[in-house]
Structure 1
Amino acid sequence: MSWQQRIDEALSKQLFRNRWRKRYVVEENSTRLIKIENKTYINFSSNDYLGLNQHPLIIDSWKKGMHLMGVGAGSSGHITGFSRFHSDLEKQIAAWLGYSRAILFISGFAVNQAVISLLSKKNDRIIADKLIHASLLDAAIHSPAKLYRFKHNIIENLIFYLQYLCSGETLVVTEGIFSMDGDAAPLNKINQITKKNNSLLLVDDAHGIGIIGDKGRGSCWVHKIKPDLLTISFSKAFGISGAALLCNENIADYFLQFSRHLIYSTSIPPAQAFALKSALSLIQQGEYLRKCLDDNISYFKLGIKSTSWRFLDSNSAIQPIIIGDDNKAKDLSEKLASAGCWVNVIKPPTVPIGTTRLRITLTSVHTFKDIDVLLEVLNEAAN
C-alpha cells in the first residue's frame, strides 16, 4: 500500500466512523465569551478555569518581559535559552509546592512524554490508571517498559498488578483530577501502596493545580502527599501555556543531563516565564477566584440534577454529560450553540467507546445567568 493509499484509507475510515475532527477559528476570546464565525457564544469549553487569560497584570507582565528579553528564547535552555526569568520561575514553583527542584517544559504533553521516555527502561514496568491522559499513555505504549493499566481509581486492581514479578523498576502513574471525567484520584492510598512496593509515583495534576488546595497548591497538597514526580500545566488555571516537572535534586540533574525533550527544544520565551510569575502570584492570592468557581460548580450541579441527563458527579470544573451516541451528542451540541452556548463533543478514542459526551467546563468568570442559559437548553433537550 502506498503512502497516499494509506492516508486516503485512514481519512475515509475517520469520516465513516463519524470521528472527523474539525477546528473552528476563534475570532475573539475573553474566556467567558468567544466569537466564532461572527457569532458570540458563552464559552463552556475553556480550561482557563480562573479566567486569568485576559488579566491585565499578566498582559502587562508579558509586555514588560518582551521589552526586557524580546519575544523568543532563541535556543534551548542548554545553550542560551535559560534566562533569569526562567530561573526565578523554577525556584518560585518549587518553593510553592515544597520540592527542591522544578524544571520548565514547553507543554504538558512534552513534560509527560519526557518523564516516561527517560525513566522507563527494558525490564521496567509502568502501572497506569486506565484513564490517564494521551500524553502519558502514548509515551508508556512506546517505551521499552511493560505497560499495565489498572481499572480507573480501583486500588485493588493496582495492588493486583503490583504483585506481578518484575526484574526492573516500577512507575505508577495517575492524575490528580482526570481531564475527561473530572473526578479525583485516591492519591493518599495510591501513594501508600506505591511506597510500600518501593515504586516511583508520577502524578499529573494539570487540572488540579491552582484550583484546589491551600493557595491553589493542587491535588497532592489536598491529599497530603508528595509524589516522587509531579507534573503541572500552565495552560489551565495559569491561563497561559507551558509546564513543569517537580522532583528532587538528583532526578532534576538526571533530566538536565539526559532528557532529549528538554535538551533539544527551544525554551518557552522569557517573556512568557515573566508573565507566569505574575500568574503564580495571582493564583496564590486567588481565594476569591476559587470561591467563584466553586460557587459556579455547585450551582450547575444543583441545576443538572433536575434533568434526566446522565452526568458524572464531579466536584471539579469539568462536568461531563454522557450521551453515548455520537450523533445525539452532536445534535445536543448544535442545540446549545443555537442558544448561544459553546460546548464541544468529546468522542472516542479520547474517551472510551460508548461514552461520547459533552464536556462542560466551568470557570470563575461565568455568571449564574450564563449557567441558567445552559441549563435551560439542557432541560428542554432532555424532554
Structure 2
Amino acid sequence: MRLQDLSAALLELDASHRRRYRATLESPQGVDIVIDGEEYLSFASNDYLGLADHPSLVRALQQGADRWGAGSGASHLLTGHTLAHQQAEEELAGFVGREAALLFGSGYAANLAVLTSLVGRGDAVFADKLNHASLNDGCLLSRADFQRFRHNDLDHLEQLLAASDAPTKLIAVDAVYSMDGDQAPLPALLALAERYDAWLYVDDAHGFGVLGDGRGSVAAHDLSSERLIYMATLGKAAGLAGAFVAGGRPLIDWLVNKARTYIFTTAQPPALAAAVGVSLRLIAEAGERRERLGQLIARCRQRLDGTPYAGQSATPIQPFVVGSDESAVLLADALRRQGYWVPAVRPPTVPENGSRLRISLSARHELSQLDALLDLMLSQAAN
C-alpha cells in the first residue's frame, strides 16, 4: 500500500468498526487490572491459571536474571544457548512425555519453524479452516500444496488425504480453537495421519496447563506417536513467554539445523528459561485451580444454554457471538463503562458476521463475578 493511501484506509477501518487500538495496562496481569488509569475486572487474558504474577514465578525470574543477566546476546547456535535453556528443554520434554523439546521466542515462530522445515514444494499440508493465523502463515510460507478442510470434518480431511500423492503430508490443527474454545478430535486425527503416512502437528497453545492434568491436550487423550509433533506456548496458562516444540530426537535435531525462525534469531532471555521449571511445578500442583476453572466453565455454559449466544466450548474460552462488528464494539463499550474489560473480536480474526466477545476465564475469577458479567451481557445484548 502506498504512503498516501494509509490515512484513507485507516478511515475505512474506522467506518467499518474494524480499527484496532492498543490499551495500556498499568498493572500486573490478572483479574483486577488498571488500563489507562481506570480499574476493570478483566475477562480478556489467556492467563488461565492465574500464574502470570505468581510470587514464585516472579522470584524465579528475578533469580534467573541475577544468575544469567538480562539478555542472551546471541542465537542458540552461536553463544546464546545457556544451561538454563538446555535444562528448560529437558524439563519440558519430560513434562509432556516426549523425547526432546526445543524452545522458541513465540508460538508464531514455532509454527513457522515446524511447517517450513518439514514440508516444501511438491509436498502437501492439510489445515483446519479455523486454525490460528500463525499456522496458516506457516502453511503458506512452506510453499507446499496448502489444502484446508472444513472445521473438525474428518471425512473431508480423509478425502483430501486420499486424493494427494505428495511425498510428504502434514496435518496441522489447533488442539483448542482460540476463538470458539472447542477441541480438535486428536485421536481420530492421529489415526488418519497413521493411515496416510502423514505428520500430525498439534498447536496446543490453549490446552497446555489446563487439560490433561496440565500436561496438555495430547496427554488428555494419552496419545503417543513418532509422527505426532506437539507445540505449546508458555505465555498463557504457564504464565511466562515463549513456546516449545516437543517430539522425537531426530525431529528436534532437524529443526535445530533447518528451522529459520530458530537459527536466525537471538535466543530468548535465559531468565525466562530459568523460570520454566517453577512454572511446570506450579502447573502440576494446580489441581484446585483447574477445578475452579471447571466450575466457571460449567456455570458459563449453564447460563448461556438456550440463548442465541450459547457455544460448544468446554474450555476457558467461552465465545459470546453477536454477529455484526458494530454490535460487538457497542457491547464491549457498554461493559467497559460498567468496569468490565472484554474486548470485541472482529474479522479477520473471526469469520464474517461472527464478531463476538470472547470471555476468557481464569482460575482467579469468582462465580459471582462471572454471574454479574453474564447478567450485564445478556441484558445489554437484548437491547
* Partner SS state of residue 281, structure 1: helix
Equivalent of 1:219 in 205, 217, 220: 217
Normalising by structure 1, we get a TM-score of 0.96
Q: Is the 8 A contact 1:309 1:382 kept in 2?
A: no
> What are structure 2's unaligned runs of at least 5 residues?
none
Q: What do the CA deviations read for 1:230-267 (whole angstroms, capped 9, x no partner)? A: 11000111111100011111111111112111111111
Structure 2 match to 1:56? 55
Q: Is the 8 A contact 1:333 1:344 kept in 2?
A: yes
Aligned positions of 1:187-206 closer than 5 A: 187-206=186-205
Q: Is the 8 A contact 1:122 1:168 kept in 2?
A: no
* 1:28 Cα offset (Å): 1.3
- Alpha-carbon separation, structure 2, partners of 1:29 and 1:69: 24
> What are structure 1's unaligned runs of at least 5 residues?
none
Structure 2 match to 1:298? 298
| TM-aligned CA distance change 1:199 to 1:208, over 3 Å | same
- Alpha-carbon separation, structure 2, partners of 1:169 and 1:352: 30
- Alpha-carbon separation, structure 1, partners of 2:326 and 2:7: 24
Normalising by structure 2, we get a TM-score of 0.96
* Partner SS state of residue 321, structure 2: strand
- Alpha-carbon separation, structure 1, partners of 2:153 and 2:184: 9
Q: Is the 8 A contact 2:41 2:341 kept in 1?
A: yes
Structure 2 match to 1:273? 273
- Alpha-carbon separation, structure 2, partners of 1:17 and 1:299: 34
Structure 1 match to 2:228? 228
* 1:275 Cα offset (Å): 1.4
Structure 1 match to 2:238? 238
Query: For residue 281 of structure 1, what is the amino acid of its counterpart?
Result: R
* 1:311 Cα offset (Å): 2.6
Query: For residue 204 of structure 1, what is the amino acid of its counterpart?
Result: D
- Alpha-carbon separation, structure 1, partners of 2:164 and 2:125: 13
- Alpha-carbon separation, structure 1, partners of 2:188 and 2:329: 38
Query: For residue 301 of structure 1, what is the amino acid of its counterpart?
Result: R
Structure 2 match to 1:119? 118
Q: What do the CA deviations read for 1:336-372 (whole angstroms, capped 9, x no partner)? A: 1122111011111111111111011000000112112
* Partner SS state of residue 170, structure 2: strand
Q: Is the 8 A contact 1:123 1:166 kept in 2?
A: no
* Partner SS state of residue 319, structure 1: strand
Structure 2 match to 1:95? 94
Structure 2 match to 1:25? 24
Identity percentage of aligned residues: 34
* Partner SS state of residue 60, structure 2: helix
Structure 1 match to 2:155? 156
Structure 2 match to 1:86? 85
Q: Is the 8 A contact 2:16 2:325 kept in 1?
A: no
Structure 1 match to 2:260? 260
- Alpha-carbon separation, structure 2, partners of 1:303 and 1:17: 31
Q: Is the 8 A contact 1:335 1:377 kept in 2?
A: no
* 1:5 Cα offset (Å): 3.4
Aligned residues: 380
Q: Does 1:379 align with 2:378?
A: yes
| TM-aligned CA distance change 1:257 to 1:142, over 3 Å | closer
* 1:382 Cα offset (Å): 3.7
* 1:175 Cα offset (Å): 1.2
Query: For residue 279 of structure 2, what is the amino acid of its counterpart?
Result: A
| TM-aligned CA distance change 1:372 to 1:144, over 3 Å | same
Q: What do the CA deviations read for 1:45-92 (whole angstroms, capped 9, x no partner)? A: 000000001100001111111111111111111111111111111001
- Alpha-carbon separation, structure 1, partners of 2:357 and 2:221: 29
* 1:181 Cα offset (Å): 0.5
**Please, what is the CA RMSD of the aligned residues?**
1.4
- Alpha-carbon separation, structure 2, partners of 1:151 and 1:274: 41
Query: For residue 346 of structure 2, what is the amino acid of its counterpart?
Result: K
Query: For residue 25 of structure 1, what is the amino acid of its counterpart?
Result: T
* Partner SS state of residue 370, structure 1: helix
* Partner SS state of residue 46, structure 2: coil
- Alpha-carbon separation, structure 1, partners of 2:159 and 2:8: 40
Structure 1 match to 2:344? 345
- Alpha-carbon separation, structure 2, partners of 1:3 and 1:371: 46
- Alpha-carbon separation, structure 2, partners of 1:311 and 1:73: 46
- Alpha-carbon separation, structure 2, partners of 1:348 and 1:213: 31
* Partner SS state of residue 40, structure 2: strand
Query: For residue 229 of structure 1, what is the amino acid of its counterpart?
Result: I
Most deviating of 160-169 and 354-363: 160-169
- Alpha-carbon separation, structure 1, partners of 2:11 and 2:335: 29
* 1:30 Cα offset (Å): 4.2
* Partner SS state of residue 47, structure 1: coil
Q: Is the 8 A contact 1:172 1:200 kept in 2?
A: yes
Structure 2 match to 1:4? 3
Most deviating of 358-367 and 259-268: 259-268
